[in-house]
Amino acid sequence: MPNKRTPVAVPIPEKPRRFLNAVRAMQENALALLPRIAFTQPIVSGHVVRRFHMVMDPPSLRRILKDKAENYPKSEEAQAMLRPALGNGLFLAEGAHWRWQRRAAMPIFAPRNLTALTPVMTEAAEETSRRIAARPGPQDMYGEMLRTAFDVIAAVSMSSDTAIPREVAHKAIDRYLETAGRASLLDILRVPAFVPRPSRAVAKVIISDLIKATDAAIEARMGREPADPPPLLDLLIGASDPETGRTMTAGELRDNLLTFLVAGHETTALTLSWALYLMAFDEEVQEKARAEAQAVLGDRAAGADDVAGLPYIRQIVLETMRLYPPVAILSRTATEPDMLREREVKRGDVMLLPFYALHRNECIWDEPNAFDPDRFADPKSVDRYAYLPFGAGPRVCLGMDFGMQEAIIVLATLLARFRFTAIPGRDPEPVMILSLRPKGGVWLDVQPLGETAGP
């Protein structure tokens, strides 16, 4: 049975807000854009400066993201603020340029290669345990998980001798996403320029140290033998387009390296942070998960072979991303007229895909705001297009299995070793800037379980 209380959620106004109030609220929290009916209806259409459709209807989402994906490209406005950092790398490229980069990067994320990447995750889980055990008591687990996820993606991307300093990357990525995020929804809806927002120039300055550090890392690798096992950067240096034989320029390498650092770092850290918040919110679920983790791990950190034996922890990770999808809204532009249900889509319309509202839509889920990992006990019972934390179709997250594996390994290791308890009055507030962040951090009382914790 789900817990009767519900975990923290974004307050949704009962009445629609006036335009300027809505825009002001959106700058603080992009999810303020969502009207109440986005949680009770399949499609909500409207007009701000341009026509938009919010789509929470699984068959329509399938059409936009998969069946007719070529008619719904990523919108240029959504891309504009990300370009200074991600250039024309995998996340932002379209057409042939996207295709060959995706093919080049895909092998490292193929399921058969995941096992080779897992020791890095296990090591990061050990290191996190050491850090948090050293100072039991109230701790911000969001800060900890950002560090853990960065250590993983940095180790997978670069050799340690050429690694980008963690502090440079952290600060830049955090401030950059916040700055870019505040502008991008306003840009997507073409809200007029009299509504102030950060400019691309500001975003560029914020990211400049990270770009310099990335260029230095690439220069240090060029012309050297690949390391063994080769990190992502070395694989990208060696990759070539099967059709033309062309390899990546230094600029393209940088765009992609930054894409992996940005796309793979905060998303996984958010999943882990929200999962730990939920563990403290529902102690019964925490106990059940701990029993599973301890039975499989004893006091070892989790590794690749353990993941299949941790189904309940997997359910918790899935349910966490339902309630708090790290990427809570995607947007696309319609380049051709279309019909979604009985709704007419015109060329140029903005398609908003608010996964936050899809995942809490009353047409789809029972008690949508309740935390209940048992919803995912049989994954086949969940409609593929009702649950989209990783997107879907050709642009589906390339790091999906990687992110899941990392979240399960870190969460299981921590639950087997520590107890997480909520601190009254310190609940996080879900705020979407570009990703769905816990404002104020995830402060929990963390206590090691001690010698008696093992089986």
Site for ligand HEM, rule CB under 6 A: 74, 90-91, 102, 153, 259-260, 263-264, 267-268, 271, 326-327, 330, 389-391, 395, 397-399, 402-403
Which one, 102 or 288, has the nearer CB to ligand HEM?
102
Shortest separation between residue 175's beta carbon and ligand HEM, angstroms = 20
Which one, 371 or 419, has the nearer CB to ligand HEM?
371
Shortest separation between residue 319's beta carbon and ligand HEM, angstroms = 13
Shortest separation between residue 326's beta carbon and ligand HEM, angstroms = 4
Distance CA 424, CA 427 (A): 7
Which one, 91 or 418, has the nearer CB to ligand HEM?
91
Question: CB nearest ligand HEM: which residue?
Answer: 399
Which one, 23 or 176, has the nearer CB to ligand HEM?
176
Which one, 95 or 450, has the nearer CB to ligand HEM?
95
Shortest separation between residue 299's beta carbon and ligand HEM, angstroms = 26
Shortest separation between residue 402's beta carbon and ligand HEM, angstroms = 5
Shortest separation between residue 105's beta carbon and ligand HEM, angstroms = 7
Which one, 23 or 442, has the nearer CB to ligand HEM?
442
